[in-house]
Every structure is written in structure tokens, then in C-alpha cells.
Amino acid sequence: MSSTIVALSTARGRSAIAVIRMSGDDAIEIAKKIFAPFPKQPNLLKVGTIKTEHFNEHAMCVYFVAPHSYTGENSVEFHCHGGTAVPQAVIEKCLENGAVMAQNGEFSKRAFINGKQNLTNAEGIIEMIDAETASAAKAGANLLENKLGKKVIALQDQLLDLLSACEAALDYPEEDLELPTTQQVDTQLADIEKQLSSLISTTALGKIAKNGIDVAILGAPNVGKSSLLNALLGTDRAIVSQIEGTTRDTLTESVVYRDIKFNFIDTAGLRQTTDEIEEEGIRRAHLAAQNADVVLFVVDNENTPLTLEMMPPIVTIFNKSDLYEVHNLGKNQLTVSAKYGDVEPIKQHLYEMFNAGDIATSDLLITNERHLSCLKQAHAQTLETLQACKTTTLDIVANGLKAIWDSLGQITGTSASEDIINRIYSKFCLGK
């Protein structure tokens, strides 16, 4: 017996319509008490009235009978006027008649419990809701369409075949079953290892699809870093002046270029200083550079020594190209005029540098930390088991196979703990 939950499924605030969702054993009975005339059939939206304490709300109602609903339970949706007061009054009516307020993600969690979705589907929904670019939405849609789930299940099937062959031979030695040789296990496992590492290797592109590319803009004072940020964004975002040391705080703004989000970080000019605030700004500039995917090192003449020692790759930008000419541009060096020229070539360069074009053609990218850590664990166990194939007996190998199977199962949820499941669904908004 499941309680009947209710929540507003559309965003709060002023809007044309609001959708209120109710799910649970009594959802249809409760709806019948408050909405008339109640639809005669499921799955059809009908116009009617909800009598609330202070007013009559002209709304629409549709109901779904278990298991044919999003949650797999009896469910009802009211499509009423938007805003704050009307949806609130409708929710009150549901509560008065026995429903309880839903927790964040409770509808989706029930869908999981009722076998309507697996964990990667749920995470795909979250990624789609959060997506700011088409690439990010596509990565979410792939999860929702169960592309990763199917891949994981295929790998698990392969493991299960191996495991059952090992176990049958181990458990029923008297049957004289043909024992798979460790050599056979070895070949198949090597194939699984290859598939896992190729999945893991999509993470770099996955991160770009989901979060974009973090680009820190560094350089000496006055070389035109803030001018460059403004030009890249196409807006007058940062203060620009001929006074050295204008920018103190780091300043991050994003722009979408060919479906990829670029997160540009303007920073304080690098120089020796005794000014405490400026010093802090410079410390933050270095930090931004360390955490970025790439640094644009801006200079404003041809003779600046490139003395930047940092981790991420560096693209040197010879700015103020209207004032001088650069002879012999090297690899990862570009010349632009932030003030007078076109800075699109920088975006183009970064786009190509990170192979962002491959995102559109790739079928499956790992975009989720949790999936990555399960895959890495499975991969490490595969390597260990491969080693065991060479040095130990079949029963130890079988244990290894089980461990890999379990790690993969955590991705889709077949072997995930209650904690993990709760954590995933709590990320949902209310009403989802």
C-alpha cells in the first residue's frame, strides 16, 4: 500500500498554467472527490471544475491507471491556472482529502522502485533538466534512452556467461563439465577491459558536453584581458581602462559557441605588487588557471617572454594586433585585436583543440561522476582478475568476475545501495 503524494510539477511563480501531479493508491479516488465531472476514461484530458475554499477553478484533469503511468502507480494530473494562489489551493484540496506532500524526486523514485526506470534514466532526466546547451541535453537524452544502461547490461551478460561456465564447472565437478580454461576467460576479459577503457576515455568529451570548457584569461596588467573577455562575450561585462590593475576579482561568464559552452574567466593582471587586495587577486588568478581546462595567456607585444608555469595547456594571444605585427606565429598562438577586431578565431581554435566537434557524432559519452567511478572500479577489478587468470585458480577468478558484475550493476541500480538511490533522487526538483 503506497501513500498518495502530491506536488506542483511545473516551476513556481507567475505562469499561464501549472501542473499538479498526484500519485499513489488513492490518487484517483481523491481526484474524484475534488474534480467534476471526472473523466470517464484514463489518459484523456477533460475540462471540469475544482471547488476550492474561496473560488471555483476551471481546470483540466487526466488520470492514469497503474501500471500505465510515469510512476507505475495510479496517477492524476491537474492542469490549472498558474501563479501562486491557484495551484496552492488545488494542492490544499488534495491534502485535505488524504494526499501528502511529495519529497524531492519522489515521483521518479517510485518509478524506479516500480521498474519504470533505472538509475541512469533518472540521472539522464536530471541532466536534461539542467542542460544549458544542446550537447548537454543530448548527453542527458542518451542516458534517458538507456544507451549506457544497455551497454552496461551487455557487459554484465558477457560476464555472467563466463561466470556461469566457471561456477558450473566448480560446483558440479562430478558432472565432468568442460572447464573453461583460464586462457578462454582471459581472452573474453581482455575484451571487456577494452570496452571499459574505451567508455572511460569518453569522459573528457563528456565533461565538455555537460559543463563546457573552462578558459582562464591571464597576463600582465593592461594587455587587454578584460577587453578580450568582453569581445568574446559580445557584451560590455568587465571594466576596461588604461590604468594598470583594473581587474581584481576573477570574473566568470559563459557563452555558447557551436553548441559548446565556454566559461571564460577574466583575472587580475600578473605583476609584483605590495597592494594586499591586488595580491589576493593575483593569487586567485593562479588558482583559476590551475582549475581551468586551458589558459589564454594574453600579451600585447611580440617580445613578452612566455614565463607562465602552469598545468593546463596554454594558448598565447597576441592582443592589440592593430598596433604591431607578429612574425612567425607558432602552434597555439593567435593574434587578435580585442578592441577593434574579430575574436571568433579564438573560439574556433579552442573548439578544435578540444575536438568538440566529436561530441555531435559520438554515440555515448560518460558525463556523470558516479558512472565514471563505477566504471573505474570495474576496470581496476578487470585488470586484477586478468592478472588472477595468469596466476591463480578458477574460483578466485570467479570471485573477480562477480565483483566486476557488481560494480557495473551499481550504474543501473541492480546492485546499488539504498543510500546511492536516495542521493540520486534527492537531486530532483519537487514534483519530478
Ligand X SMILES: Nc1nc2c(ncn2[C@@H]2O[C@H](COP(=O)(O)OP(=O)(O)OP(=O)(O)O)[C@@H](O)[C@H]2O)c(=O)[nH]1
Residue ranges in contact with ligand X by CB under 6 A: 219, 221-227, 240-242, 244-247, 269, 319-320, 322-323, 337-340
CB of 256 to ligand X, least distance (A): 23
**C-alpha cell belonging to residue 181:** 580454461
Residue 339 touches which of ligand X, Mg ion, none (CB < 5 to 8 A by kind)?
ligand X
How many chain residues are in contact with Mg ion, going by CB under 5 A?
Answer: 4
Residue whose CB is less far from Mg ion, 250 or 362: 250
> What does 242 bind: Mg ion, ligand X, none (CB cut-off 5 to 8 Å by kind)?
ligand X
CB of residue 241 to Mg ion, shortest distance in Å? 8
Residue 225 or residue 432: which is nearer to Mg ion going by CB? Answer: 225
- In this structure, the chain runs to a length of 432
Establish if 230 lies at the interface with Mg ion (CB under 5 A): no
> 69 or 337: whose CB is closer to ligand X?
337
Question: Which is closer to ligand X, CB of 223 or CB of 375?
Answer: 223
Task: Return the one option of Mg ion, ligand X, none that residue 320 interacts with (CB less than 5 to 8 A, by type).
Answer: ligand X
Stretch that binds Mg ion, among 147-155, 210-218, 225-233, 248-256 (CB under 5 A): 225-233
d(CA 257, CA 255): 6
Which of Mg ion, ligand X, none is residue 223 near (CB under 5 to 8 Å by kind)? Answer: ligand X
Contacts of 353 (CB under 8 A, 6+ apart): 294, 313, 315, 332
Residue 274 interaction partner, one of ligand X, Mg ion, none, beta carbon < 5-8 Å per kind: none
CB nearer to ligand X: pick between 83 and 245: 245
Least distance (Å) from Mg ion to the CB of residue 351?
24
Least Å distance, CB 21 to ligand X, is 50
Residue number with CB closer to ligand X (180 or 281): 281
Determine, following the binding rule CB under 5 A, whether residue 226 of this chain makes contact with Mg ion. Answer: yes
**Cα–Cα distance for residue pair 242/244, rounded to 1 Å:** 6
Q: Would you say 8 or 334 has its CB closer to ligand X?
A: 334
State the nearest-atom distance from the C-beta of 255 to Mg ion, in Å: 18
Q: By C-beta, is 9 or 247 nearer to Mg ion?
A: 247
Check binding of 247 to Mg ion (CB under 5 A): yes
Residue 24 interacting entry, from Mg ion, ligand X, none, C-beta within 5 to 8 Å by type: none
Note whether 410 binds Mg ion by CB under 5 A.
no
Give the 3-state DSSP-derived string for the chain, with helices as H, strands as E and coil as C. CCCCEEEECCCCCCCCEEEEEEECCCHHHHHHHHEECCCCCCCCCEEEEEECCCCEEEEEEEEECCCCCCCCCCEEEEEEECCCHHHHHHHHHHHHCCCEECCCCHHHHHHHHCCCCCHHHHHHHHHHHHCCCHHHHHHHHHHHCCHHHHHHHHHHHHHHHHHHHHHHHHHCHHHCCCCCCHHHHHHHHHHHHHHHHHHHCCHHHHHHHHHCEEEEEEECCCCCHHHHHHHHHCCCCCCCCCCCCCCCCCEEEEEEECCEEEEEEECCCCCCCCCHHHHHHHHHHHHHHHHCCEEEEEECCCCCCCCCCCCCCEEEEECCCCCCCCCCCCCCEEECCCCCCCCHHHHHHHHHHCCCHHHHHCCCCCCCHHHHHHHHHHHHHHHHHHHHHHHCCHHHHHHHHHHHHHHHHHHHCCCCCHHHHHHHHHCCCCCC
Three cell numbers at 133?
A: 546547451
Q: Which of residues 143-202 bind Mg ion (CB under 5 A)?
A: none
Q: Smallest gap, in angstroms, from Cβ of residue 227 to Mg ion?
A: 8
Interface with Mg ion (CB under 5 A), residue from 88, 188, 246, 377: 246
The nearest distance, CB 230 to ligand X, in angstroms, is: 8
Nearest distance, CB of residue 333 and ligand X, angstroms: 16
Residues that bind Mg ion (CB under 5 A): 225-226, 246-247
